[in-house]
Amino acid sequence: MVQINKSEKIYEDLKMRILKGEFDENQILPIEKSLELEYNVSRNTIRKAIRQLNSEGLVYSKLGSANVVLQRVAVEDLLIDSGNMERGSKIQTKSNETKVLSLDLIIVDATLAAKSMFQIGTTCYHVIRLRLINGKPVMIDDSFFKSEVVPRLTKKIAQESIYRYIQSVTNHKIIGSRLVDRVILATDLDKNYLALKQENCIGLTQNWAYLDDGQIFEYTEIHFAPEQYVRTRFIGQKVGYIQ
Amino acid sequence: MVQINKSEKIYEDLKMRILKGEFDENQILPIEKSLELEYNVSRNTIRKAIRQLNSEGLVYSKLGSANVVLQRVAVEDLLIDSGNMERGSKIQTKSNETKVLSLDLIIVDATLAAKSMFQIGTTCYHVIRLRLINGKPVMIDDSFFKSEVVPRLTKKIAQESIYRYIQSVTNHKIIGSRLVDRVILATDLDKNYLALKQENCIGLTQNWAYLDDGQIFEYTEIHFAPEQYVRTRFIGQKVGYIQ
DNA sequence: ACTGATTTGTTCGTATGTATC
DNA sequence: AGATACATACGAACAAATCAG
């Protein structure tokens, strides 16, 4: 069991209680004062937990009134919650396998530099991997890793976990990714590997991954078969903002 | 000028300073103590502002070390930042137009109930709207609104702003949306209106919109032409989480 | 490699503001 | 109009990770 702090524990507990339907009757949480007493913490700690519930779209804090529990959507349980990848996605629980299609050491040219944000002349590994879940091909990772960060990358390492490898050979942590999602025409590679049906398009996710020194060390284009491409998120409306 | 609070002002200011490149040399912010003095506020207020920068992927707070400014990605300035829709998207600044293709009053059946989360038997408006930006068709909104929330909806209202109408006739605020993005085969409607080229797919965003009492009042399927469909987000890595 | 100083992280208590009931 | 409940802000203490000598 991981040791987490009070606000995190309270967040997890309240989330569980919400999803179990404990507050379905009135659709509001108990007032903050009573949560203080119940969990025996300060109001700030309660508020920190509720802030997390707000950002996930489980609760709306209504000034002067209450912390309102939002109506749930049926599909959401089935989906990988992209707004919550930090906690590990549900995909992890399934059997998955990686097939390395190619691995080359290359020098960054102008075209790649513009996309990847790597400097021209940088040496990096170009890795193409096919990802299978329960034996079914679901995505292709077309990746570039700064060789400085993953020295002596091999197919074997790429097949296991490059991230684990990085964290074992560097002092740096991987702290997050900036993602851009698009829909594009399928490439020949996609058609060969992704078992597309009628569709001639795929979901593309561009991924710039960061180390804790603030630098991008990886640029990946993830190609998804359409039915595999699903994203969920919650967006709070700014007061006064009108569509 | 909107009146915003201290932490929000500091957040905006730091963001502007980051984007102007003020911290590019060391790629870190001044320490919190000196920001306290500079802005003449408490440390908590500084930390609240920095927390916002963290969630947007502009800064990574490194325990025991510094608030690291993350390397920027070139494309991000060009895009609608979906993680920041609360502040209004850039799309707003362009000239846009809405064409109402149809408007009907219907009763929710089992199929629609399952998707929309409306109860079977609810009366609602079914509205299909074509959205144009700078004269170019970019998306189709296939929407269902609870008639209880938008009584006497007309084509004229739908062409202007349904949201503005709602906020004028109800006591309730619109507080946010849960979104699910997918890639699907284009329908005939899409092919007719979205000026697709070779592509036979579109980007689909399902949108459940909430009122401040926690209830869903709108379900919309937004159909995007592929080149119009772009999403950006930042996902922080949970410590110990390995791909 | 160790120690002390520095810096961010969490929590507490309190006061005051603002919207709602 | 008064009470209630969430929002913002301050100051302080201590923990945990990092950094500098």
pLDDT band at B3 (very low <50, low <70, confident <90, very high): low
Neighbours of B178 (CB within 10 A): 24
Mean pLDDT for B196-216 is 96
Closest-CA residue in chain A for B203?
A183
DSSP letter (8 states) at residue B28: B
pLDDT surpassing 80 at residue B238: no
Which residues of A are less than 8 Å from B242 in CB distance? 161, 163-164, 167
- Fold exhibited by the domain B77-228: Chorismate lyase (3.40.1410)
pLDDT top residue among B10 and B94: B10
| Residue A119 vs residue B4, higher pLDDT | A119
Q: Would the Cβ of A65 be found within 7 angstroms of any atom in strand C?
A: yes
Question: pLDDT 10s per residue in chain A (243 long)?
Answer: 456 899 999 999 999 999 999 999 999 999 999 999 999 999 999 999 999 999 999 999 999 999 999 999 987 655 544 433 333 343 444 678 999 999 999 999 999 999 999 999 999 999 999 999 989 999 999 999 999 999 999 999 999 999 999 988 888 899 999 999 999 999 999 999 999 999 999 999 999 999 999 999 999 999 999 999 999 999 998 754 444
Nearest one of A231, A56, A138 to B230, comparing CA atoms: A231
Q: What is the model's pLDDT at position A2?
A: 57
pLDDT category of residue B208 using cuts at 50, 70 and 90: very high
Mean pLDDT on B151-174: 92
pLDDT at A121: 97
Contact assignment for A235 to B86 by CB distance below 8 Å: yes
Q: Chain-wide mean pLDDT for chain B? A: 90
CA distance A11 to A190: 41
Decide if pLDDT at B2 tops 90: no
Chain B residues with CB-CB distance to A214 below 8 A? 27-28, 60, 68-71
Residues of B in contact with A113 (CB under 8 A): none
Please indicate whether, in this complex, the C-beta atoms of B233 and A237 are within 8 angstroms of each other.
no
Q: Is the pLDDT of residue B233 over 80?
A: yes
Asked whether residue B127 carries a pLDDT value surpassing 80, the answer given is yes
The pLDDT of residue B242 is 43
pLDDT at residue B1 tops 90: no
**CA of B18 and C1' of C6: distance in angstroms?**
24
Mean pLDDT of the region B74-103? 62
Question: Which protein residues have their Cβ less than 7 angstroms from some atom of strand D?
Answer: A 29, 31-33, 44, 47, 50, 61-67; B 5-8, 40-45, 48, 62-65
Cβ B156 vs Cβ B234: under 8 Å: no
Q: Which residues of chain A does B237 touch, with a Cβ-Cβ cutoff of 8 Å?
A: 86, 173-177
- Residue ranges covered by each domain of chain A: 6-72, 77-228
User: Looking at strand C, which nucleotides approach a protein CB closer than 7 A?
Assistant: 6-14, 17-21
Q: Reduce the DSSP state of residue A137 to 3 states and report it.
A: strand
In this predicted structure, what is the pLDDT of residue A84? 36
- For residue B53, what are its two tokens? 């920068």
Is pTM beyond 0.85? Reply is yes
CA of A67 to C1' of C13 (A): 23
Q: Which fold has domain A6-72?
A: Arc Repressor Mutant, subunit A (1.10.10)
**Chain A: residue whose CA lies nearest to B216:** A71
- Does the distance separating the beta carbons of A60 and B55 come in below 8 Å? no
Chain A nearest C-alpha distance from B210 (Å):
8
pLDDT of the residue at A171: 85
Is the pLDDT at B14 greater than 90? The verdict is yes
Does the CA dihedral B53-B57-B62-B66 come out positive or negative? Answer: negative
pLDDT given for residue A86 in this prediction: 36
Is there a contact between A229 and A198 (Cβ–Cβ < 8 Å)?
A: no
* Percent of chain B's residues with pLDDT above 70: 88
- Comparing CA positions, the residue from A238, A206, A193, A112 lying closest to residue B163 is A238
Q: Reply yes or no on whether the pLDDT at B243 is more than 50.
A: no
- In the prediction, which pLDDT does A185 show? 97
Query: How close is the nearest chain A Cα to the Cα of B128, in Å?
Result: 16
* In contact, A137 and A130? CB cutoff 8 Å: yes
CB B188 within 8 A of CB B138: no
Q: Of all protein residues, which has its CA closest to the C1' atom of D6?
A: A63
Residue A157, classified by CB atoms within 10 Å of its CB into exposed (0-12), middle (13-18) or buried (19+), is: buried
Greatest Cα pair distance, chain A, in angstroms, is 62
Q: What span, in angstroms and rounded, lies between the C-alpha atoms of B129 and B222?
A: 10
- Evaluate whether B176 touches B217 at the Cβ level (below 8 Å): no
